[in-house]
Amino acid sequence: MNITTLVFILLSVMSVGSAIMMISSKSPVHSVLWLIVVFFAISGHYILLNAQFLAIVNIIVYAGAIMVLFLFVVMLMNLNAETEPIKNYRLQLVGIISGGALLLVIVSAVMKIDTEQLVEMKVGDAGLIKVLGMNLFKNYILPFEISSVLFLSAMIGAVVIGKKDDEVVNKPEN
Amino acid sequence: MDIKAYIILSLVLFTIGIIGVLVRRNAIIIFMCVELMLNAVNLLLVAFSKMHALSSAVKASPGYASDAQIFVFFIMVVAAAEVSVGLAIIVMMYRNVHTVDVNFLNRLKN
Amino acid sequence: MGNYITFPDLLTWLPMLAGLFCFFVVNQKKAKSTAIIFSLLIMGVSIATLFFTNDAKYLSYNNVNYFWLKYLGANYFIGIDGMGRMLTLLTAIGFPLILLSTVNQEQQNPKAFYGLMMFTQAGLMGVFMAFDALTFYFYWELALVPVYFLCSKWGGERRIQATFKFFVYTFAGSLLMLIAIIYVYMHTSSRAIEEGVMIPHSFSLTAFYNAQLSVTEQNWLFVLFFIAFAIKMPIFPFHTWQPDAYDQSPTSVTMVLSGLMVKMGLFGVLRWLIPVFPAASVHYKNIIIILSVIGIVYASCIAMMQDNIKRLVAYSSIAHIGLMCAAIFSMNVISIQGVLLQMFDHGINIIGMWVVVQIIERKTGVKKISQLSGLAASAPVLTILFIIIALANIALPLTNSFTGELLMFTGLFQTSIWFAAIAGIGIILSAVYTLNMIQKVFYGSVNKITTEVKDISLQEKLILFFIVGIIFFIGIYPQPLIDLTKESVTNILFRLK
Amino acid sequence: MNNIIKLVWLIPVLPLIGFLINGLGRKALSKTLSGYIGSAVVLGSFVLSFLVFLQVKNGASATVHFFNFIDLSTFKIAFDFKIDQLSTLFLLIITGVGFLIHVYSTAYMHDEEGMNFAKYFAYLNLFVFSMLLLVMGGNFVIMFIGWEGVGLCSYLLIGYWYRNTNYTDAANKAFIMNRIGDLGFLLALFWLISKLGTVQYDDIFTTASLAKLSAKDITGITLLLFVGATGKSAQIPLFTWLPDAMAGPTPVSALIHAATMVTAGIYMIARSNALFSLAHQTQTIISIVGLATALLAASIAIKQNDIKKVLAYSTVSQLGFMFVALGTGNYVAAVFHVLTHAFFKALMFLGSGSVIHAMGGEQDIRKMGGLHKHMKITSITFLIGCLAISGIPGFSGFFSKDEILAGAYGHSTLLYSITLFAALLTAFYMFRLYIITFTGKFRGTHDQEHHLHESPKAMTIPLIILGILSVIGGYVGVPEVLGGHHELAAYLSPVVKSAEHHLSHNTEFMLMGLSTILVVISISFAWARFRNYSIEGEAKGLGSLLENKWYVDEIYQKIILNPLKSISAFFNNIIESKLIDGAVNGVGKMINYGSRQLRWLQSGQVGGYVLLMVIGMLILFFIQLFL
Amino acid sequence: MNALILSAIWGLVMMFCGVFVKSKSIPKYIAVLGLSIVLISSMIELLTKKSFFHFGYNNMLNTEGFNLSFIVIILFCTLIYFLLTGSEIEKVGAHVGEYFALIFFVLCGISIVATFNTLLMLFIGIEIISIPLYILTGSDKRNLKSNEAALKYFLMGAFSTGIMLMGIAFIYGGNPNASFYIDKIEMGIGHMPVLIAVGLLFVLVSMSFKVSAAPFHFWTPDVYDGAPTVFTSFMSSVVKVAGFFAFLRLFEHAFGIVQDQWQVLIVFITVATLLIGNVTAVFQQSVKRMLAYSSIAQAGFMLLAIFALNDKAKEGILLYAAAYSLASIGLFGVLTKMEDYTIDGFNGLAKEQPVLGLAATIFLLSLTGIPLTAGFQSKFFMLMAAIQNGHHFWIVIVAVLFAAISAYYYFRVIQAIYFKEATKTIILPHSINIPFKIMLIVIAALILIIGVYPELVIGWMYR
């Protein structure tokens, strides 16, 4: 077992473990924190795969921006373990079983591949910022520009939905 | 590394996300689970891109191998946009009913 | 094709125009007379077509054919051959009769009523003239939808459910037919429509005749087509929509349904089903004849049990249609000729029956046989005319149905003596229920309900005399009708070889 | 010749015209006028028929073609008249007897109000028209047109007094029973068409085309034709309508239910003799059925008390005799008996009509008696009828009946003896009727007695004429053994080929003698039994069985009508509403039910939705990856 | 290209309009103007095959006639939608300009998914469609139903996005060309590679979700019911059809050659969709909810196009786009005028408002698929496509039998409109303005015209 494999296993255990913790912890704040751990682990994977740019972006965007936003909302709403709605046990079990079954089905199908395809670890220029930048601004200029529309609409959404203008009326049933 | 390891890893993460969606009732947590699913995808995409980087056909032009990573980049972009809208919706709901339980609002059924 | 207006054009567009006229142009009071005038005009046109029967010479007057959906190879193709000529004539005669006989009934919102009636006529005309499967299907449904509205709006108290059953039933059937049409279409051969432009498939009748279908394909396509037609006719056991619909519809619509619309099913079998699937027709013929024959006896038995005069006529109609269906599937010259004759005759007779039923219902306000008695004393003319029509309905010699039934039975006999014999029980049973009904309604002494009844008015007399006149004319001299349709029979049977 | 033949279309058309005038103008016409018109047209037909008869009696015959009724290039039905000896003979009977009865009716129906009176004559004329079509038709289809036509007229006339439900019941029964027979006829017709492709007599009754038929075909066709005949001619099992048909006015009974319509079956079989002669099994069946009918009806007639019912059963019985003759191949005898029977039975019916007229509508013989004093002409003519039907030598019935008996003897002794027995019964019940009605004391009310009178001339003259005919009618067929030439046989020979019976003259004499003696004994017995008739109590045993007509109607009710009704009820209540409609509505209900159940999937909870989605995914993955 | 860029630009214009224009009714006219421009420019592009904008987009979009004609149809239907119910949008809330802007962004997204050539563009397009829709669904902030619908829609939509991305990842992984271009996916010989198969399944599931095919349809009734009616109209018509177009485009170009390997899945989904949509719709009492279920049922029919994947299917989807959108828009337009959304609420409508009654009837007839309406033609082409495909013939029979069932619930409304008497407790719309009526008549006329002459629609794709 070389060091790469060891790191891989370590990161994997970390990400899976904290993911499980994320969905199982009672307090939403803990969940957010565990999720941040997952993201860090995944960033670790990226580094292992020599995708430096993504590793950084992942931490900045996800762990930094998005999760902070989450945390912020959770705090704002003052959610904690006591206010957390709990599903009944049986439904949880059904959920876990069906999710597990899905995993089982897909994994057992994927495992049928005979050929062993390797992943380039630690080396390679595909994930380097230069290559990515060239590619992004040469070939992917259109989606890059178009995603501005996405942000525009998200912005409008925040305005339309977030702006408080009327009090709630419980409209009669139609 | 064998690609299968990455596939399994991201599938496991993905499934944990799905299970999370299934077992939790807190809208924020569910949303976080979705984010987890997206991250699993990201990881898989990067792994695949590095796998393809090894194949002879792709080696000639490194741009191809980085396509997947650009895709991941776009996923993050979209996720960011989605989060802003999603949290706005959740906040709106919280403002109206003071809970984030997805089962609380249950007027629309049958 | 020239640029002049042809007969098929007139026969479809005139009623459509009349419908639009009734809907949008005239006022409520004039709608009725507009519809009647138009229907008489159409009758005139239809009679005129009888003088242009030489297709070689008058082909261009009798056909309309132009591209409709070019990419599909669907043409708007309507034309009149012998069979179509006869049935359009029946439709054209039927409608003025129906409208005139119900002229005294006040409809609410007559504009819509007569507009829809005229649309129905257009649909019927189109069905009888279509030479292109898609055109056929279009008109087939066009005839259905107005009837749905007519029944649901102006019918009896349970009209909505009854009509709805009728609608869904027929609609499902015709969708199945649509599938079969498409399937056959996919197996037609390509043809060139103009220089260098090939159309992969075609909906035209001839293309359908030449479609490349294996025997198994034919067999199940046949079933799909047949269900649509069987529901429309209707034959046992697809008939349950019918008594309800006849009972609940306004009488004039019932007349259209029973006198003209059921002919669509029979016509479909003759024009589309048998010629397109000759092998399957032979394959299924016995099953269908058995069904029909069972239906004859079955419907007759039920007719005997009916106390509602409208339901009685409805079930008697099922029995008659069963016989026609059985005769069609005997598939010989005599039987099919008989069916063609009978299609016309049955149309006239059943309209006559309804005219009388409608008069009785209007004059007495009841339709229960058990509540009526002794009408012969208070309305002798009505009685006599009705007896003639009823006897024509049970095929007494020298009335129109006799020749038709004689030929049908002759043809049926050639398939098997047993079919003819069991179907023949229907002849006896038809006498039983018809005579019972006559006895109970017209004979006996008058009761409270019937004592005030006045005999029919001059106008009603004229209508009924006209019907009786047709009954006797065709009964004594059916040859003109036979000559008209002879060629169609030959064409149908030619496909079977 | 040709001139007359060209005019034959007038023979049926004249009554048709009469029908139309009377029918359409029934409001405008006075009673006298419509009576005159009705009778005159029939007279006209009679005259024409007679002229035709003069032509054809020398052996000429013709088929007159008018137009093609149905013409499919492969198959034709022509509208033809066949003018030959057989049809002409029937023409004479129909128009002749028919005319007399029309005349009689003018008086008999005088009490009817104007419109109904005209209606009556219209129907009567229509009947004559139909009957003429029946006998003149040049093919089976035209015959069938007449065949159903007479059934219709019979229906209309039986139900003439439509207010009475019993009468209209009888009318329905008559029509329906006839229709059952008609179905047999039709099936035979179809069989012929499918085998020979034609319905024309001239084409069918040739050796060449008959040879095309297999033995099975012939048996089948003849049997079915015979079924048709049993309907029209009231044989077992379709005879019960005839007695009920007496609900109609009496002249109608005379014309339709005695003289003409009911003989249509005999006419048809005689017409098809070429076919029937080839079918020996059928012939046996015919004679057995005929014989059984003759016996059964005769036995019932013994205990009937309604004057017309007795005559009706006697008619059935006499028709049975005719079928025995047909069954033994003795077609001429059958036709001969039709002729004589037409005379004497019409006579007796009209006589009974006269009696009823006098009694003010009373038909029960128990309430009559001693009428001879009051109405001599009626009584005497009725007696002539009785003598004729009983087969007293010298009267017409003797010759015809004797011929039938001789034929039966030639066939088998057993057949002969039973037939003879039936003949004896005939004599017995006829004289019972006569004696109870016309002799003894009057048993009715005083009022009735006061009104008793002889009928008007219009009624008695036909009686007298028919009486004369009942006597002399038989002389057209005096057998050789009595020194005659049997002119009828000779006359019919071009059409009808009877089986030859080679009975020696001695045997024939012996048979005649035997039957005569027995008949006389039988009559005497009746005289002894009913001379001092008084109303009897309830009959018991066989008597009650006979009085109730062997319970045939009740049996039919039990074994045919009731099951039919139950089946219909079953169809209507169970199969139609529960099964078929139930299935159709069931589909609707099922969808509705499914709709209500499926709604629960839509729980409104995101977790539930996602769970279902995941399960859906699971299924899809499983299908795709492992199946 | 024209549509994509111009609608994005006009979305921006509308956004500013929302900021600077205070009047509530003006944005509608600006939107109609803008949409007309977009429509005309797209038509010009379709006819001349030249775009106004030239820059290298690396072949990520495919502006062939078929795709453009679809865009034109969509834009046209949206224009009709604006004209008919533009004034209803004003009533939803305060942010009129923003609503229009969001709709323009959706159109931008639709023009992406109609022309995408790479999975990336598909993904981005779908997101550009979805995100504004989440917002529009929740735009009636005061209404808890709207809140609930938005939340459900958002959570499930995000979930399905995740699934779709997983699918894309697998497809990428299984593709030796290492490309996201849909026509550069290698299927190998014989069975397709397992990775691609798994990816295909994920993508199939998420596309089924987008087009609300069973068993991934659960969001549809709730969201359509909860969203403001005027936006439901847009979502259930134009957007839904666009989803199908993307579905068809993806599966035709990416997986068309191995259709025999996944067709049975489509059969499964189609039958389930038809069953659930039609059967559940039967029991609905609210017309709005019934229409939601009926949209699932119609989706079942549209799935036949994916099932068939041939020329007729393409023609059919165009026809369906036009026919279904027009009828839905019209019907929802009528619905916005109703006080009471239950079926009984329609009682006696024909007497009170004959034009509304007649138009609604025509729309319902079209949805049922009665001949001479556009709805028939679209169903007809779908059936034709499915039969031409030649496999699993029985699915066609199932489809038409369910179509017959659909008559049941559509006709219940017709029955209410025409054959039932209005009860006093139900308030029928009183004053309907003339332009609205005219628009209804125009839509009805269009439906009839397309019903008689469908080449009006499908003729575009052969230009």
Q: What is the residue-wise DSSP string for E124-153? A: HHHHHHHHHHHHHHTT-TT-HHHHHHHHHH
Residue A162 lies in a domain: no
CA closest to B108 among chain E residues: E222
Q: How far apart are CA C150 and CA C114, in angstroms?
A: 9
CA closest to B27 among chain E residues: E155
- Asked whether the predicted pLDDT for residue C85 surpasses 60, the reply is yes
- How many angstroms separate the CA of residue D569 from the nearest CA in chain C? 7
Q: Which carries the bigger pLDDT value, residue C107 or residue E6?
A: E6
Check CB contact under 8 Å for C435 and D176.
yes
Hey, how many other C-beta atoms are within 10 angstroms of the C-beta on A152?
22
Q: How far apart are CA E84 and CA E331, in angstroms?
A: 11
Q: Which of residues 71-90 of B touch E (CB under 8 A)?
A: 71, 74-75, 78, 81-82, 85-86, 89-90
- How many angstroms separate the CA of residue B45 from the nearest CA in chain A? 11
- For residue B8, the domain's CATH number is 1.10.287.3510
Q: What SS3 string covers C380-446?
A: HHHHHHHHHHHHHHCCCCCCHHHHHHHHHHHHHHHHCHHHHHHHHHHHHHHHHHHHHHHHHHHCCCC
Axis crossing angle, helix C82-101 with helix C458-476, rounded to the nearest 10: 160
Quote the number of domains for chain E: 1
Q: What is the pLDDT of residues E149-205, one digit of tens each?
A: 999 999 999 999 999 999 999 999 888 888 899 988 888 787 888 899 999 999 999
Quote the number of domains for chain D: 1
β strands within C19-127, DSSP E: 63-69, 74-79
Domain locations in chain C?
Answer: 286-497
Residue D358 lies in a domain: no
**Quick one: which of E72, E137, E70 has its CA closest to E103?**
E137
Question: Which of D591, D592, D606 comes nearest E155 by C-beta?
Answer: D606
User: DSSP secondary structure string, D314-364?
Assistant: HHHHHHHHHHHHHHTT-HHHHHHHHHHHHHHHHHHHHHHHHHHHHHTS--B
- Asked whether the predicted pLDDT for residue E84 surpasses 70, the reply is yes
Question: Which of A106, A146, A169 comes nearest E124 by C-beta?
Answer: A146
Check CB contact under 8 Å for E411 and C185.
no
% of residues, chain C, pLDDT over 90: 32
Structural domain including A102 reads 3-124
β strands within C71-213, DSSP E: 74-79, 191-194, 197-199
Q: What is the pLDDT of residues D190-224, one digit of tens each?
A: 998 888 888 888 888 888 888 888 888 899 999 99
Residue A158 lies in a domain: no
Q: Is residue D337 a contact partner of residue D321, using CB atoms and an 8 Å limit?
A: yes
Query: What integer best gives the mean pLDDT of chain D?
Result: 86
* Confidence at A174, pLDDT banded by 50, 70, 90: very low
Q: How far apart are CA D217 and CA D199, in angstroms?
A: 15
Q: Is residue C342 a contact partner of residue C485, using CB atoms and an 8 Å limit?
A: no
For tokens 């069918």, what's the residue?
D204
Residue A155 lies in a domain: no
Residues forming a β-bridge with D82: D63
Q: How far apart are CA D29 and CA D25, in angstroms?
A: 6
Over its C-alpha atoms, chain E yields an Rg (Å, rounded) of 21
Structural domain including E412 reads 2-462
Q: How far apart are CA D450 and CA D443, in angstroms?
A: 12
Q: How far apart are CA D456 and CA E182, in angstroms?
A: 112
Check CB contact under 8 Å for E141 and A165.
yes
Query: Is D619 an 8 Å CB contact of chain A?
Result: no
The encoded tokens of residue D337 equal: 């008996």
Query: What integer best gives the mean pLDDT of chain C?
Result: 87
Check CB contact under 8 Å for B34 and E155.
yes
**Quick one: which of A109, B70, C222 has its CA closest to D618?**
A109
CA E146 to chain centre: 20
The encoded tokens of residue D138 equal: 């040049």
User: Any residues with CB less than 8 A from the CB of A5 and at least 6 apart, and which?
Assistant: B1
- How many angstroms separate the CA of residue A137 from the nearest CA in chain E? 11
Chain D residues closer than 8 Å to C396 by CB: 148-149, 152
Helix and strand numbers (H, E) in chain D are: 29, 2
Residues forming a β-bridge with D137: D81
Q: What is the pLDDT of residues D532-573, one digit of tens each?
A: 777 666 666 777 887 788 888 888 888 888 888 898 888 888
Q: Is residue D284 a contact partner of residue D327, using CB atoms and an 8 Å limit?
A: yes
Q: Is residue B62 a contact partner of residue A121, using CB atoms and an 8 Å limit?
A: no
Please calculate the CA angle D496-D502-D508 and round it to the nearest 5 degrees. Answer: 105
Quote the number of domains for chain B: 1
The encoded tokens of residue C401 equal: 């149905």
Q: Is residue D389 a contact partner of residue D426, using CB atoms and an 8 Å limit?
A: yes
Structural domain including B19 reads 3-108
Is residue D77 classed as helix, strand or coil in its secondary structure?
Answer: strand
Check CB contact under 8 Å for E462 and C168.
no
- How many angstroms separate the CA of residue D579 from the nearest CA in chain E? 21
User: Any residues with CB less than 8 A from the CB of E111 and at least 6 apart, and which?
Assistant: E3, E4, E7, E71, E74
Hey, how many other C-beta atoms are within 10 angstroms of the C-beta on E429?
15
- By CB atoms closer than 10 A (0-12, 13-18, 19+), residue D136 is buried
Please calculate the CA angle D577-D578-D581 and round it to the nearest 5 degrees. Answer: 55
pLDDT, position A168: 46
Residues forming a β-bridge with E355: none
Check CB contact under 8 Å for C176 and E458.
no
What is the enclosing helix (H) or strand (E) of D508? helix D505-530
Question: Which of A45, A96, A153 comes nearest B43 by C-beta?
Answer: A45
- Asked whether the predicted pLDDT for residue E135 surpasses 50, the reply is yes
- Asked whether the predicted pLDDT for residue E234 surpasses 50, the reply is yes
Compute the count of residue pairs across chains B and D with CB atoms less than 8 Å apart: 30
pLDDT, position E128: 94
Query: Is D141 an 8 Å CB contact of chain C?
Result: yes
The encoded tokens of residue B32 equal: 């976080």
- pLDDT mean over D28-43: 87
Q: How far apart are CA C475 and CA C392, in angstroms?
A: 9
Query: What integer best gives the mean pLDDT of chain E?
Result: 90
The encoded tokens of residue E264 equal: 């049975």
Question: Which of E161, E178, E180 comes nearest B65 by C-beta?
Answer: E178
Residue D571 lies in a domain: yes
- pLDDT mean over E204-209: 95
Residues forming a β-bridge with C192: C198
% of residues, chain A, pLDDT over 70: 93
Check CB contact under 8 Å for B52 and E178.
yes
Q: Is residue E389 a contact partner of residue E308, using CB atoms and an 8 Å limit?
A: yes
- How many angstroms separate the CA of residue D618 from the nearest CA in chain E? 10
- How many angstroms separate the CA of residue A82 from the nearest CA in chain D? 21
Q: What is the pLDDT of residues A70-83, one digit of tens each?
A: 998 998 888 877 77
Residue type, E52: F
Residue A167 lies in a domain: no
The encoded tokens of residue D463 equal: 């009686």
CA D150 to chain centre: 9
pLDDT, position C58: 67
Helix and strand numbers (H, E) in chain B are: 4, 0
Check CB contact under 8 Å for B109 and D610.
no
Q: How far apart are CA E302 and CA E296, in angstroms?
A: 10
User: Any residues with CB less than 8 A from the CB of D264 and at least 6 apart, and which?
Assistant: D131, D134, D146, D147, D150, D229, D232, D233
Between strands D62-72 and C74-79, the pairing is unpaired
pLDDT, position A173: 45
Q: What is the pLDDT of residues D472-496, one digit of tens each?
A: 888 887 877 777 777 888 888 888 8
Q: Is residue C187 a contact partner of residue E390, using CB atoms and an 8 Å limit?
A: no
The encoded tokens of residue E252 equal: 């035709």
- For residue A10, the domain's CATH number is 1.20.120.1200
Best mutation site among B26, B90, B103 for testing chain D: the one with the most D CBs within 10 Å?
A: B103
Lowest mean pLDDT among D374-378, E5-9, E108-112, E255-259: D374-378
Q: How far apart are CA C45 and CA C173, in angstroms?
A: 33
Q: What is the pLDDT of residues D305-336, one digit of tens each?
A: 888 888 899 999 999 989 998 888 888 888 88
pLDDT, position E221: 93
Q: How far apart are CA E220 and CA E202, in angstroms?
A: 20
Q: How far apart are CA C263 and CA C242, in angstroms?
A: 14
Residues forming a β-bridge with D80: D65
Chain E residues closer than 8 Å to B75 by CB: 123, 165
Residue type, A51: A
Q: What is the pLDDT of residues C416-466, one digit of tens each?
A: 889 999 999 988 999 999 999 989 888 888 888 777 788 888 888 899 999
Is residue D200 classed as helix, strand or coil in its secondary structure?
Answer: strand
Q: How far apart are CA D600 and CA D58, in angstroms?
A: 97
pLDDT, position C1: 43
Is residue D240 classed as helix, strand or coil in its secondary structure?
Answer: coil
Q: What is the pLDDT of residues A123-161, one digit of tens each?
A: 877 788 888 888 888 889 889 989 999 999 998 988 888
Residue D189 lies in a domain: no
- Asked whether the predicted pLDDT for residue E66 surpasses 70, the reply is yes
The encoded tokens of residue D475 equal: 């002389």
Is residue C193 classed as helix, strand or coil in its secondary structure?
Answer: strand
**Quick one: which of D195, D198, D194 has its CA closest to D213?**
D195
Chain C residues closer than 8 Å to D565 by CB: 304
